[in-house]
Amino acid sequence: MKITTEAGERHVLAITVDNEAGVLAKITGLFTARGYNIESLTVADITADHALSRITIVTSGPPPVIDQIIAQLDRLVPVHKVIDLADQGAHVEREIALVKVAGTGEKRIEALRLADVFRAKVVDTTLTSFVFEITGNSDKVDRFIALMRECGLVEVGRTGIVAISRGPEAV
Partner 1 sequence: MTEMSGADMVVQALVDLGVDTVFGYPGGAVLPIYDALFNHPTIRHILVRHEQAATHAAEGYARATGKPGVVLVTSGPGATNAVTGITDALLDSIPMVVLTGQVPTTLIGTDAFQECDTVGITRHCTKHNYLVMDPDRLGPIIHEAFHIATHGRPGPVVIDIPKNVQVATGTYSVPELIEHQSYRPQVEPDADAIADAIALIAAAERPIFYTGGGVINAGPDASAALRQLVGLTGAPITSTLMGLGAFPSDDPKWLGMLGMHGTYESNMAMNRADLIIAVGARFDDRVTGRLDAFAPHAKKIHIDIDRSSINKIVPVDVAVLGDAGRALDALIGAWQDKGHKARDLGEWWRRIDGWRATRCLDFPEKKESGAEIMPQRAVKALFEATRGRDPIITTEVGQHQMWAAQHFGFSAPNRWLTSGGLGTMGYGFPAAVGAQVARPDRLVICIAGEASLQMNIQEMGTVSQHRLPVKIFILNNEWMGMVRQWQELTYESRYSNSYSDSLPDFVKLAEAYGWTGLRIDTLGELEDGIRTMIDTPGPVIVDCRVAKLANCFPMIPSGAAHTEMILQPSDVIGTMDDEAKALV
Antiparallel, parallel or unpaired: β 121-126 and 153-158: unpaired
Number of alpha helices (DSSP H) and beta strands (DSSP E) in the chain: 4, 9
Min dist CB 53 to partner 1, Å, is 21
CB count within 10 Å of CB 35 equals 9
> Which of the ranges 31-39, 41-49, 80-88, 153-161 carries the binding residues for partner 1, by CB under 8 A?
31-39
Name which of residues 1 to 30 contact partner 1 (CB under 8 A).
1-3, 5, 29
Which residues on adjacent β-strands are paired with residue 91? 165
Q: Does 63 bind partner 1 (CB under 8 A)?
A: no
Sketch the per residue contact string, 67 through 106, with partner 1: x for CB under 8 A, - otherwise: -x--------------------------------------
If one asks whether residue 35 binds partner 1 (CB under 8 A), the answer comes out as yes
Buried b (16+ CB within 10 A) or exposed e, 80-97: eebbbbeebeebebebbb
Binding site residues, partner 1, CB under 8 A: 1-3, 5, 29, 32-36, 68
